[in-house]
Amino acid sequence: MSDSTEDWKALERRSEDRLEHRGYCTLSYQQQQWKAFVLHLSESGALTALADPPPLKRGDLLHINLELDGAKAAFDASVAHMKDHFIGLHFESGEDNEYEKLITFLQLKKRALEGHA
C-alpha cells in the first residue's frame, strides 16, 4: 500500500461518528498479544497505536479487548489499514452486550464532549 495522503484518506470511510478517545486495549493474534493505545473509537472500529508495529497485514483477523473508563468490551476485528505504528480496526463480531457497552460509552462520551454531561 502506498503511504500517500490520498490512500490514507480513502481508507478512512465510515458511516458513523468517530470520537477521539485516549484509552488502552489489548490486541490478540494467534498466540501473540500486544498492549496498544486507542486513539479514535466508533461503533464499527478503532484506530490504535503500538510502540512497535506487530506482524499484521490488512485483512488479518484478531481479537481486541477495549478498556472503556472502567468497563471492558471485547470484539473480533479485522485489520482495515496500517501505517507505521497505527492500526485501523473494523469490528467484525461481538456479543450484543459488548456492543451495548460500546454504544453506551460512545453516547456518554459524545454528550460529555458537547458539554451535556
Domain ranges for the chain: 15-113
Of the pLDDT bands very low, low, confident and very high (cuts 50, 70, 90), residue 23 is very high
Cell of 42: 466508533
Tell me if 105 sits within 8 A of 69, measured CB to CB.
yes
pLDDT tens column, 26-35: 999 999 999 9
**Statement: 15-113 belongs to CATH 3.90.76.10:** no
pTM of the entire structure?
A: 0.80
Highest mean pLDDT among 50-54, 59-63, 100-104: 59-63
